């Protein structure tokens, strides 16, 4: 018997040993982890790890079951394939509206056909069928609120007497924050001869919540999730996002209570203090559904209806632009728990539903991601208080303290305070200070502040729920800091922090070099991006908070190098599609909460460099992740936009828009001055058509391929005819943007036989020569702006001019990141010279990040789209196969970087000492790297593992 056991062990041992060569570490559904809500049949993926070099997947097997019943939904069997991302499970019995979770697992075989162990389980569920049919509830209907309609309420429009009167006539209840609650029974059934109750075991509970504008959701007194400003904002006439929560652990058999706190957000901007605009889709409103599954296969559904109750919350004012006030005396202890007496609460009213389509929020939530403490305290004296009261256009309290929190950011303060009932603490936040040292909101929108009224019950901790701002400094009025003298018995702040609030999409990369300016510039850009990575990519976190679209594609590669945009990007695309006009036009912002009209506003309403994101960005996403779904889904939107642009063109030339916005010179930046607007607009017109041709080929529309190829050719001919001086080989004004754009887009072509344009190598060299000379003529400095920066940097980099780029940015003068650092900036500023004013928290000039990763680190996908119609494009694989081609330039001694792809983490580290160059790389399992070493023409192709090159 013992011998038999040993024989069995020996026979099984090789299988176990080989299985250890490859392990599965991360499972994703539609490239997302956790509980994923899917529409239709999802695509699955997994990441593998191995201690051995050269490990590759040769086959996989996927197993899917219902979590509660254990019912087998689908088993793929062994599939001979190396694919490990975006794996289709077409044919699986995934039922729309199924109330149960699905669980799935996978195992793989390596290159020697040895199997791994089964992975751990992951789960997903289908979108609910009945959620959209539930009742929207709140305190007042839109009709009874008398809310004005339209998207024109901004600027001078808000000063018109009739507009003022319309907004003043709105019922004040329509902008109040409210509590909503409902109690319900779970799990009890009658059984036995005595009719006694027994409990059914809860095994799965899922809540679907949409509270507009923003909400906080709690069950039995506990907040569910840790998000802020949920759900992510949108054009509520087109799309309305809801959140999904696994709440199994928060429920109990017997009585339960659900509570929801509602605020206004962008759904209901009625002003009251500073506001960029006013718009209302309706009063605060709630849609709710809770599905509870029991062990015996039965279920209970709780949903929003007229059986709920509401009351006013302690939030007495909240506006996304103006700030928030909170009166803690209005708190109702236990309002969201069982046993609370809600007899004085009012029944909810059933409201009009938003017009938009209800969609599951796929993008990650916004959260408090960082906290920052006081770095410096300044007490304003009487003279400073008097001067500040004039310069800030508000009465500054004699108690005013100004706190430097050290980091400019987007968010709000959080305080812990002790004082008497009814005392008030006011918090004014700003990214800049006046000359006398007070918080200065002149450039960023005033007045925005937070006011807290104490309840007088020991330590009270509070932060705003439904508003945020961009700030570094906090001006405290009506309180003293702990340990300070307090002759007037003011409330005592025992703690105060800046809460840095941004989208929780994962940071997927690191970058460090021997150049401290570059390291600090990378950090400046990161903090500015994070400040503006909210529900959408905003321009700034204070003055506008609008989703200006040019930065999506102009900074797109840098964003994709730094952040996991697998879920965020599709939501951005949905916002763009929702913003598209019926005639195909694309506005400059999405969501489009305001339509820019009137004298001088046309350029802000539409600009091809902004609207082009609809066409360009999906291809950047495709290159990075190998996922063409956005191109296929929005192909008709792309085509409609190109067709619209054709109606605006005159003989192939577009002449509208903002051009190279904020270009640099001896002037205050704004509208393009160095480069003709038609040149920039037409170049982007050509680019969007070029990408549309590629998209047409991908969707199999050969007619469109031919039609739009012809259109692109005509635009190219018109562009060169209009803007190229053949004698000087200068485009437009000869500015850096004028020449960089045609070089980047391979527009440097000449008409050959039968009028067909062909690349003109001689012309290309001359234009590049002119571009380089212009940079040198400006002291190795740029003159480009928001639009031209990327094309200048990438044109130089792709033409082996990395040394020149190094000189352009390795200094502490303007224009350059070093000057902002010397100035003391902690986020990237709107102007190259922050002293010129405007926002100090913009990421639109952050295009250098693409160069850091693509050139200095040297990583990029092996298959990328050609920048011309002539180039043949292979299917994009994302980082399944990639290039490492590090560029040791200037006096750089080292670069260290990591980048987490869908397949695992790439690590690149190089050092240079005199003539010795050393490169260390780590390649994820199931991927291939093509390594180009400096000075060598032939690359080295390597499989997964760790390698060193000298």
Tell me which H or E stretch contains 941. Answer: strand 940-942
| Residue 864: predicted pLDDT | 75
Mean pLDDT of 279-286: 98
Indicate if 223 and 312 belong to the same structural domain: yes
Residues 6+ apart with CB under 8 A from 921: 884, 906, 907, 908, 909, 929, 931, 942, 946, 947, 949
- pLDDT of 184-223, one tens digit each? 999 875 454 455 566 799 999 999 999 999 999 999 999 9
User: How confident is residue 21, by pLDDT bands cut at 50, 70 and 90?
Assistant: confident
Indicate if 313 and 422 belong to the same structural domain: no
Q: How far is CA 258 from the centre of its chain?
A: 30
Pairing status of strand 87-88 against strand 43-49: antiparallel
Mean pLDDT of 37-60: 95
Mean pLDDT of 742-746: 97
Q: Say if 823 falls within a structural domain.
A: no
Q: Say if 118 falls within a structural domain.
A: yes
Find, among 205, 206, 569, 211, the residue nearest to 358 by Cα.
Answer: 211
Could you give the CA distance from residue 321 to residue 447 in angstroms, rounded to a whole number? 9
**Percent above pLDDT 70 for the chain:** 96
Instruction: Give, as one character, the DSSP assignment of residue 200.
Output: P
Lowest mean pLDDT among 72-86, 287-301, 744-758, 895-909: 744-758
What is the CATH classification number for the domain harbouring 614? 1.50.10.10
| Residue 836: predicted pLDDT | 86
Lowest mean pLDDT among 248-252, 326-330, 347-351, 871-875: 871-875
Could you give the CA distance from residue 655 to residue 672 in angstroms, rounded to a whole number? 13
Cα-only R_g, the chain: 30
Residues 6+ apart with CB under 8 A from 57: 22, 48, 81, 82, 84, 108, 109, 110, 111, 925, 926
Indicate if 34 and 149 belong to the same structural domain: no
656: helix, coil or strand?
A: coil
Find, among 851, 872, 880, 893, the residue nearest to 944 by Cα.
Answer: 880
Is residue 622 scored above 70 in pLDDT? yes
Indicate if 119 and 142 belong to the same structural domain: no
Could you give the CA distance from residue 402 to residue 388 in angstroms, rounded to a whole number? 12
Indicate if 254 and 315 belong to the same structural domain: yes
Indicate if 709 and 784 belong to the same structural domain: no
Domain span at residue 278 reads 131-363
Indicate if 681 and 744 belong to the same structural domain: no
Is residue 11 scored above 50 in pLDDT? no
Mean pLDDT of 22-39: 95
318, 303 Cβ separation under 8 angstroms: no
Indicate if 72 and 143 belong to the same structural domain: no
Find, among 812, 841, 814, 809, the residue nearest to 826 by Cα.
Answer: 841
Reading phi first (left if > 0) and then psi (alpha if -120 to 50, else beta), residue 652 is in left
**Percent above pLDDT 90 for the chain:** 91
903, 46 Cβ separation under 8 angstroms: no
| Residue 450: predicted pLDDT | 98
Find, among 199, 271, 269, the residue nearest to 233 by Cα.
Answer: 269
Q: Say if 66 falls within a structural domain.
A: yes
Largest CA distance in the chain: 103
Could you give the CA distance from residue 342 to residue 259 in angstroms, rounded to a whole number? 12
Reading phi first (left if > 0) and then psi (alpha if -120 to 50, else beta), residue 296 is in alpha
| Residue 869: predicted pLDDT | 60
| Residue 192: predicted pLDDT | 47
What is the CATH classification number for the domain harbouring 302? 2.60.120.260
| Residue 193: predicted pLDDT | 47
| Residue 867: predicted pLDDT | 59
| Average pLDDT along the chain | 94
- pLDDT of 636-689, one tens digit each? 999 999 999 999 999 999 999 999 999 999 988 999 999 999 999 999 999 999
Tell me which H or E stretch contains 512. Answer: strand 509-513
| Residue 16: predicted pLDDT | 40
What sign results for the dihedral spanned by CA atoms 193, 194, 197, 198?
negative
Q: Say if 547 falls within a structural domain.
A: no
3-state helix, strand, coil in the chain (%, to 5): 25, 30, 40
User: How confident is residue 13, by pLDDT bands cut at 50, 70 and 90?
Assistant: very low
Q: How far is CA 92 from the centre of its chain?
A: 32
User: How confident is residue 600, by pLDDT bands cut at 50, 70 and 90?
Assistant: confident
Q: Say if 815 falls within a structural domain.
A: no
Could you give the CA distance from residue 23 to residue 309 in angstroms, rounded to a whole number? 52
475, 391 Cβ separation under 8 angstroms: no
Indicate if 197 and 56 belong to the same structural domain: no
Is residue 907 scored above 60 in pLDDT? yes
- The residue out of 92, 107, 126 marking a domain boundary is 126
User: How confident is residue 430, by pLDDT bands cut at 50, 70 and 90?
Assistant: very high
- The residue out of 753, 774, 797 marking a domain boundary is 797
Find, among 306, 357, 352, the residue nearest to 147 by Cα.
Answer: 352
For 457-469, give the DSSP string: SS-EEE--SS--E
User: How confident is residue 599, by pLDDT bands cut at 50, 70 and 90?
Assistant: confident
| Residue 872: predicted pLDDT | 61
- The residue out of 319, 348, 363 marking a domain boundary is 363
- pLDDT of 122-133, one tens digit each? 999 999 988 999
Indicate if 473 and 398 belong to the same structural domain: yes
| Residue 198: predicted pLDDT | 63
- pLDDT of 519-549, one tens digit each? 999 999 999 999 999 999 999 999 999 999 9
Q: Say if 337 falls within a structural domain.
A: yes
3-state secondary structure 724-791: EECCCCEECCCCHHHHHHHHHCCCCEEECHHHCEEECHHHHHHHHHHHHHHHHHCCCCCCCCCCHHHH
What is the CATH classification number for the domain harbouring 86? 2.60.40.10
Is residue 426 scored above 90 in pLDDT? yes
| Residue 894: predicted pLDDT | 98
Q: Say if 841 falls within a structural domain.
A: no
First to last CA, the chain: 57
Indicate if 281 and 160 belong to the same structural domain: yes
User: How confident is residue 875, by pLDDT bands cut at 50, 70 and 90?
Assistant: confident
| Residue 15: predicted pLDDT | 38
What is the CATH classification number for the domain harbouring 920? 2.60.420.10
Total structural domains within the chain: 6
Q: Say if 570 falls within a structural domain.
A: yes
Find, among 408, 474, 403, 392, the residue nearest to 441 by Cα.
Answer: 392
Instruction: Give, as one character, the DSSP assignment of residue 836.
Output: G
User: How confident is residue 868, by pLDDT bands cut at 50, 70 and 90?
Assistant: low
| Residue 18: predicted pLDDT | 44
Indicate if 189 and 333 belong to the same structural domain: yes
| Residue 865: predicted pLDDT | 72
387: helix, coil or strand?
A: helix
| Residue 871: predicted pLDDT | 57
User: How confident is residue 598, by pLDDT bands cut at 50, 70 and 90?
Assistant: confident
707: helix, coil or strand?
A: helix
- pLDDT of 309-358, one tens digit each? 999 999 999 999 999 999 999 999 999 999 999 999 999 999 999 999 99
Is residue 517 scored above 80 in pLDDT? yes
């Amino acid at each position: 018997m013992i011998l038999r056991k040993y024989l069995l062990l020996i026979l099984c041992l090789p299988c176990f040993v080989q299985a250890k060569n490859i392990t599965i570490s991360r499972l994703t559904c539609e490239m997302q982890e956790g509980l994923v809500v899917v529409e239709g049949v999802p695509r699955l993926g997994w990441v593998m790890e191995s201690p051995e070099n050269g490990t590759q997947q040769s086959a996989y097997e996927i197993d899917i079951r219902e979590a509660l019943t254990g019912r087998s939904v689908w088993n793929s069997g062994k599939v001979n394939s190396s694919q490990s991302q975006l794996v289709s499970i077409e044919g699986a019995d995934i039922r729309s509206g199924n109330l149960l979770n699905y669980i799935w697992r996978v195992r793989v075989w390596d290159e020697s056909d040895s199997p791994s162990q089964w992975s751990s389980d992951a789960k997903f569920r289908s979108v609910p069928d009945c959620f959209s049919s539930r009742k929207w509830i709140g305190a007042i209907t839109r009709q009874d609120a008398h809310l004005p309609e339209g998207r024109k309420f901004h600027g001078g429009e808000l000063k018109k007497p009739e507009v003022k009167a319309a907004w003043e006539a709105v019922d004040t209840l329509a902008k109040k924050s409210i509590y909503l609650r409902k109690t319900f029974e779970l799990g009890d059934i009658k059984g036995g001869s005595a009719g006694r109750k027994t409990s059914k075991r809860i095994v799965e509970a899922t809540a679907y919540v949409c509270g507009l504008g923003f909400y906080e959701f709690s069950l039995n007194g506990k907040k569910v999730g840790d998000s802020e400003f949920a759900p992510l904002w949108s054009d509520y006439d087109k799309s309305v996002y809801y959140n999904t929560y696994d709440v199994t652990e928060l429920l109990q058999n017997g009585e339960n209570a659900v509570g929801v706190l509602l605020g206004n957000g962008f759904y209901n901007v009625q002003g009251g203090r500073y506001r960029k605009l006013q718009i209302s889709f309706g009063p605060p409103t709630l849609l709710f559904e809770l599905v509870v599954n029991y062990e015996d296969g039965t279920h209970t559904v709780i949903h929003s209806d007229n059986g709920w109750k509401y009351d006013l919350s302690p939030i007495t004012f909240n506006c996304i632009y103006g700030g928030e006030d909170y009166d803690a005396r209005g708190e109702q202890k236990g309002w969201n728990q069982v046993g609370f007496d809600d007899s004085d609460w009012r029944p909810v009213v059933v409201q009009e539903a938003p017009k938009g389509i209800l969609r599951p929020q796929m993008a990650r939530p916004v959260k408090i991601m960082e906290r920052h403490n006081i770095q410096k305290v300044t007490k304003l004296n009487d003279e400073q208080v008097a001067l500040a009261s004039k310069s800030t256009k508000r009465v500054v309290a004699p108690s005013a303290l100004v706190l430097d929190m050290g980091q400019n950011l987007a968010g709000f303060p959080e305080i812990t305070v002790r004082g008497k009932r009814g005392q008030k603490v006011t918090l004014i936040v700003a990214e800049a200070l006046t000359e006398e040292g007070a918080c200065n909101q002149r450039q960023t929108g005033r007045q925005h502040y937070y006011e807290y009224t104490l309840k007088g019950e020991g330590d009270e901790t509070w932060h705003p729920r439904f508003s945020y701002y961009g700030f570094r400094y906090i001006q405290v009025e009506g309180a003293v800091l702990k340990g300070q003298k307090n002759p007037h018995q003011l409330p005592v702040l025992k703690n105060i922090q800046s809460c840095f609030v941004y989208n929780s999409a994962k940071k997927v990369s690191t970058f460090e070099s021997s150049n401290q300016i570059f390291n600090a510039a990378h950090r400046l850009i990161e903090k500015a991006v994070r400040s503006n990575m909210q529900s959408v990519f905003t321009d700034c976190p204070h003055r506008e908070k609008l989703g200006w679209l040019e930065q999506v594609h102009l900074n797109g590669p840098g964003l994709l190098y730094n952040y996991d945009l697998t879920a965020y990007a599709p939501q951005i695309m949905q916002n763009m599609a929702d913003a598209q006009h019926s005639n195909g036009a694309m506005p400059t912002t999405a969501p489009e909460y305001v339509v820019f009209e009137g004298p001088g506003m046309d350029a802000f309403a539409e600009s091809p460099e902004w609207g082009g994101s609809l066409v360009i960005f999906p291809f950047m996403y495709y290159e990075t992740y190998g996922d063409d779904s956005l191109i296929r889904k929005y192909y008709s939107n792309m085509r409609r936009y190109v067709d619209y642009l054709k109606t605006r063109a005159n003989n192939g030339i577009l002449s509208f828009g903002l051009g190279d916005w904020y270009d640099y010179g001896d002037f205050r930046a704004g509208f393009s001055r160095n480069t003709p607007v038609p040149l920039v607009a037409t170049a982007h017109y050509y680019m969007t058509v070029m990408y549309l041709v590629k998209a047409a080929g991908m969707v199999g529309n050969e007619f469109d391929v031919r039609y739009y190829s012809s259109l692109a050719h005509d635009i190219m001919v018109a562009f060169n005819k209009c803007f190229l001086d053949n004698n000087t080989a200068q485009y437009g004004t000869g500015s850096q943007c004028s020449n960089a754009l045609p070089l980047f887009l391979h527009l440097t072509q000449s008409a050959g036989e039968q009028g067909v344009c062909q690349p003109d190598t001689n012309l290309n060299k001359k234009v590049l020569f002119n571009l380089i000379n212009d940079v040198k003529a400006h002291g190795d400095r740029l003159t480009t702006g928001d639009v031209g920066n990327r094309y200048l940097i990438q044109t130089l980099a792709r033409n082996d001019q990395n040394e020149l780029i190094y000189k352009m940015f390795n200094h502490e003068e303007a224009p350059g990141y070093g000057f902002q650092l010397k100035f003391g900036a902690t986020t990237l500023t709107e102007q190259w010279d922050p002293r010129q004013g405007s926002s100090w928290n913009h990421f639109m000039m952050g295009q250098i990040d693409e160069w850091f990763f693509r050139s200095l680190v040297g990583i990029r996908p092996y298959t990328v789209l050609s920048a011309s119609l002539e180039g043949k494009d292979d299917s994009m694989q994302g980082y399944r196969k990639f290039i490492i081609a590090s560029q040791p330039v200037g006096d750089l001694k080292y670069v260290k970087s990591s980048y987490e792809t869908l397949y695992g983490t790439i690590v690149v580290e190089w050092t240079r000492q005199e003539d010795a160059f050393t490169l260390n790389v780590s390649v994820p399992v199931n991927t291939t790297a093509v390594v180009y070493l400096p000075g060598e023409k032939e690359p080295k192709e390597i499989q997964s593992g760790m390698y060193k090159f000298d």
